[in-house]
Amino acid sequence: MQATDRLILNEQSQTVKTLFDQFTKELKYLRNLSERTIFSYRDAFERWLKFVGAMPTERNLSQFVL
């Protein structure tokens, strides 16, 4: 993997993290989800980033699930 590819993946990861943080805040305040539920969502999200590391697309979702 080239340095430019790593930079793009890092930028995508930061964008995804920012969007996920916004999502969890909305869940917490609009749907009154518990901290434990949000923790479970965050755990699944961290695993996604570890194994896929990019914004969800149809292609990488299929690879992740299969």
pTM of the predicted protein model? 0.64
CA distance from start to end of the chain = 23
The percentage of residues in the chain with a pLDDT greater than 90, rounded to a whole number, is 27
Q: State how many domains the chain has.
A: 1
Residue of 50, 53, 48, 28 whose CA lies nearest to 38: 28
What is the domain extent for residue 51?
3-65
State mean pLDDT over 15-32: 89
State mean pLDDT over 34-50: 89
* 64 touches 51 (CB < 8 A): yes
**How far is residue 35's CA from residue 48's CA, in Å, rounded to a whole number?**
20
Q: Does the pLDDT of residue 29 top 70, yes or no? A: yes
For helices 3-30 and 35-51, angle between their N-to-C axes, nearest 10 degrees:
170
pLDDT at 40: 94
